[in-house]
């Protein structure tokens, strides 16, 4: 799911030094989502059901879980359409959750990605990466790169797996929502650094594009939408929750102008110097991240990168996986159509 914090009942705590003498004291909390203790323990209430890979037959999709790295416990859930005509592109998808919560086994992602696989007619690999604060950034980015290396190994082995027989390894797309979109961007940035050396090392994989849904970026200076966006009673992301996620995810001593959080900060690599993938950016009109997402698209365009964005009217952050309103369902179908068009080019 995206970087969520569900209201009402949202309670955020950032405890000062005077309150942390007790090892069992809570030092960070987003009520209902995550609680971090001074001694390092972390609790994550099960706000969203975890489900197995089983799917209804009428969906026309087969889903199974695969281990990527048993030592770090990285795994992925694959979605494969039952009826295929030739080999299909593969979407490597990273779930949201502020880098701190979420799972490829969450029911909302399972349902959304199964539907996406069937309607777009593509394979989807939903990656379950390591979470902060136990594994702060760049752990999630490293897991994304490790996933691509694992995919390369599968491609070199040929059609040895049930899903690989249907996979076109020359058409790989990185995708994700919220923090997952941040991961997709930063993985693509690493692959695009060093003048394409990293990309060459992934052959025979060929990365074709980046699909960024409500990408989770930040910065020390607030945008207009961060300051003034009117939040719905059950907003999927508040500014306070966003700040808490970044405190937990970024390296010790880093602020929100770190390049992983703010790709447009002075300390970030110039976009002109990086070989970036063509990008589709999906933005929600009622999202506090709206202005930051628009600024990101403008910067990509000015740097000569191929980018297109779509604004989804009347909906907020993570509507495609969290909201069941008629408007959200309509907008989600529009998003699926835009993703299908982007992949089909």
Cα–Cα nearest to 5, from 29, 22, 38: 29
Cα–Cα nearest to 202, from 189, 186, 191: 191
Rounded distance between C-alpha atoms, residue 217 and residue 94, angstroms = 15
Cα–Cα nearest to 274, from 180, 188, 146: 188
Please report, for residues 87, 122, 126, 230, the alpha-carbon distance to residue 180 in angstroms, rounded to integers and kept in the order given: 26, 19, 10, 24
Q: Which residues pair with 66 in a beta bridge?
A: 76
Which entry of 63, 103, 178, 265 is annotated as an active-site residue?
178
Q: Which residues pair with 280 in a beta bridge?
A: 211, 308
**Phi and psi angles of residue 97, each rounded to the nearest 5 degrees, phi first:** 130, 25
Which ranges constitute the DSSP H helices of 17-161? 107-120, 139-157
**Phi and psi angles of residue 64, each rounded to the nearest 5 degrees, phi first:** -145, 155
- The answer to whether residues 95 and 126 touch, using CB atoms and an 8 Å cutoff, is yes
| Catalytic residue list contains 178 | yes
Positions marked active-site: 178
């Amino acid at each position: 799911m995206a970087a969520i914090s569900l209201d009402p009942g949202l309670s955020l705590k950032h405890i000062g030094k005077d309150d942390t003498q007790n090892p069992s004291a809570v030092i960070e909390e987003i009520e209902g989502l995550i609680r971090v203790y001074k001694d390092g323990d972390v609790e994550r209430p099960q706000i969203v059901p975890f489900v197995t890979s089983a799917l209804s037959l009428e969906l026309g999709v087969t889903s199974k879980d695969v281990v990527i790295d048993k030592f770090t416990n990285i795994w992925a859930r694959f979605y494969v359409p039952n009826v295929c005509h030739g080999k299909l592109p593969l979407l490597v998808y990273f779930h949201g959750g502020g880098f701190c919560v979420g799972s490829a086994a969450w029911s909302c992602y399972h349902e959304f990605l199964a539907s996406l696989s069937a309607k777009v007619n593509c394979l989807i690999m939903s990656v379950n990466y390591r979470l902060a604060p136990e594994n702060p950034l760049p752990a999630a980015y490293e897991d994304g790169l490790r996933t691509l290396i694992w995919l390369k190994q599968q491609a070199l082995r040929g059609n040895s797996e049930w899903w690989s027989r249907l996979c076109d390894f020359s058409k790989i797309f990185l995708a994700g929502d919220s923090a997952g979109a941040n991961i997709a961007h930063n993985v693509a940035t690493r692959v695009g650094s060093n003048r394409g050396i990293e990309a060459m090392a992934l052959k025979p994989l060929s990365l074709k594009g980046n699909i960024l849904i409500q990408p989770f970026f930040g910065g020390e200076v607030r945008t207009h939408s961060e300051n003034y966006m009117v939040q719905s009673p059950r907003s999927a992301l508040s500014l306070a929750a966003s700040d808490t996620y970044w405190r937990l995810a970024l390296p010790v001593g880093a602020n929100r102008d770190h390049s992983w959080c703010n790709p447009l900060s002075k300390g970030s690599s110039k976009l002109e110097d990086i070989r970036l993938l063509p990008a589709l950016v999906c933005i929600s009109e009622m999202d506090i991240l709206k202005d930051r997402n628009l600024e990101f698209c403008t910067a990509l365009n000015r740097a000569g990168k191929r980018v297109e964005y779509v604004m989804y009217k009347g909906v907020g952050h993570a509507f495609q996986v969290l909201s069941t309103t008629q408007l959200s369902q309509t907008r989600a179908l529009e998003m699926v159509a835009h993703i299908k068009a982007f992949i089909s080019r």
